[in-house]
């Protein structure tokens, strides 16, 4: 039987006052370069998923939020090379600061229905419809 090691990733739909969601474009040179994704990243050993997301949002976008502002929304489960990706998606409507692209090539705010036109990682595709229904 093949064995897969799990890769736990947290990501967030940051939702603005107009119901738009922030996506970031992965930089060249990284796996899945140029694809549009939800901000987030890998959960480090010893971290809670919420602490990992608070850390990633500070590192990637320079914004501050708190675990209590992160509402679990849905998840994706998808083969990723030798690993198996478990992507936990949260929704966040409250943060401090203006998101800036510290790691990403670009940022854009858009409604979930507009995401179908973008190139996104395969794991994210089923999340779009769920966000459409949720927001």
Ligand X SMILES: Nc1nc2c([nH]c(=O)n2[C@@H]2O[C@H](COP(=O)(O)OP(=O)(O)OP(=O)(O)O)[C@@H](O)[C@H]2O)c(=O)[nH]1
**Which residues would be at the binding site for ligand X (CB under 6 A)?**
9, 11, 31-32, 37-38, 40-42, 80, 85, 87, 121, 123-124
Shortest distance in whole angstroms from residue 60 CB to ligand X: 7
Q: Are strands 21-25 and 36-37 parallel, antiparallel or unpaired?
A: antiparallel
**In terms of DSSP bridges, do strands 5-14 and 83-92 run parallel, antiparallel, or are they unpaired?**
parallel
The CB-of-49 to ligand X minimum distance in angstroms stands at 12
Tell me the chain's radius of gyration from C-alpha atoms.
Answer: 14
Separation CA 67–CA 54 (nearest Å): 7
Nearer Cβ to ligand X (36/69): 36
Q: Are 13 and 92 in contact (CB under 8 A)?
A: yes
Minimum CB distance to ligand X smaller for 1 or for 5:
5
- For ligand X, the closer CB: 50 or 124: 124
Degrees, nearest 5: CA angle 126-128-133: 110
Cβ closest to ligand X, residue 59 vs residue 64 = 59
Interatomic CA distance for residues 71 and 91, integer angstroms: 5
Q: How far is the CB of 81 from ligand X (least distance, A)?
A: 9
**Considering the complex, what minimum distance in angstroms separates the CB of residue 96 from ligand X?**
21
């Amino acid at each position: 039987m093949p064995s897969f090691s799990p890769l736990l990733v947290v990501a967030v739909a940051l939702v603005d006052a107009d119901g738009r969601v922030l996506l970031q474009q992965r930089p060249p040179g990284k796996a899945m370069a140029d694809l549009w994704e939800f901000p987030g990243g890998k959960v480090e050993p010893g971290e809670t998923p919420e602490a990992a997301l608070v850390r990633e949002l500070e590192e990637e976008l320079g914004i501050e939020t708190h675990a209590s502002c992160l509402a679990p929304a849905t998840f994706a489960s998808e083969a990723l090379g030798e690993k198996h990706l478990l992507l936990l998606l949260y929704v966040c409507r409250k943060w401090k600061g203006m998101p800036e692209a510290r790691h990403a090539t670009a940022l854009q705010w858009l409604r979930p229905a507009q995401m179908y036109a973008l190139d996104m990682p395969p794991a994210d595709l089923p999340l779009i419809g769920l966000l459409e229904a949720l927001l």
